[in-house]
Amino acid sequence: MAQDIRELFKNDQIKHEEMPKNHQNRFLEKLDVAMPEKQAATFGWLKIAASIVVLLGVSFGAYKLIESPIKGSTPAVVSTKTIETKSLGDISPGLKIVEDYYLASINLELAKMTYTPETKELFDGYLNQLNELDKAYQKLSLELTESGPSELTVNALIDNLKLRLNLLYRLRAQLKTFNTSDGLVEEVSQSI
């Protein structure tokens, strides 16, 4: 009973029937019953919501990856939290001259110093005191930044610089005395 469709068209045995009236309307009604538009709209919103959730998840993951590098690896960018502190030079040009004078004098005195293994202990003791004074100077600079310039803070900063310079003068004098006393001991031992 199976007939080849090509044979049917050749012989024109197919009757040309027209579709019944309202066939298209009935088809669309059945289609609406089977697949209502509300269902399609709901799935559309679900797809959009799912896309947004995935996009947010990927963005958050990338942010966390950039923010904190993987343990064991070296970070690409090291963030250091430093506070810009004000110095005496930020307050007035006259104070900048004073600060520069003392800092240059301190650095010059430190550059002139030479120590030997015999004077290392004395030298290290003075350096520890200088480090303590430097820490105090940093605290005063922070106070100057946070609370603004005041006469007490400015005077304390200048006094700190003076104290450091005087400390270096005393160190130089003690080293000189130590070296001359060693020289005398050597001269005495050579003359005997």
Residue 66's CB: how many other CB atoms inside 10 A? 10
Q: What is the mean pLDDT of residues 141-152?
A: 86
Biggest CA–CA distance in the chain, Å, is: 148
Residue 160 CA to residue 135 CA, distance in Å, equals: 10
Alpha carbon distances (Å) from 191 to 6, 180, 181: 138, 16, 15
Q: Per-residue pLDDT tens for 97-138?
A: 888 888 888 888 888 877 778 888 888 888 889 899 889 988
Residue 119 CA to residue 86 CA, distance in Å, equals: 36
pLDDT of residue 148: 82
Residue 143's CB: how many other CB atoms inside 10 A? 17
Residue 154 CA to residue 163 CA, distance in Å, equals: 14
Tell me which amino acid residue 102 is.
Answer: Y
Judge residue 21's burial from the number of C-beta atoms within 10 Å of its C-beta, 0-12 exposed, 13-18 middle, 19 or more buried. Answer: exposed
Residue 91 CA to residue 148 CA, distance in Å, equals: 9
Q: What mean pLDDT value characterizes the chain?
A: 76
Residue that has been written with the tokens 């520069």 in this structure = 100
pLDDT of residue 163: 92
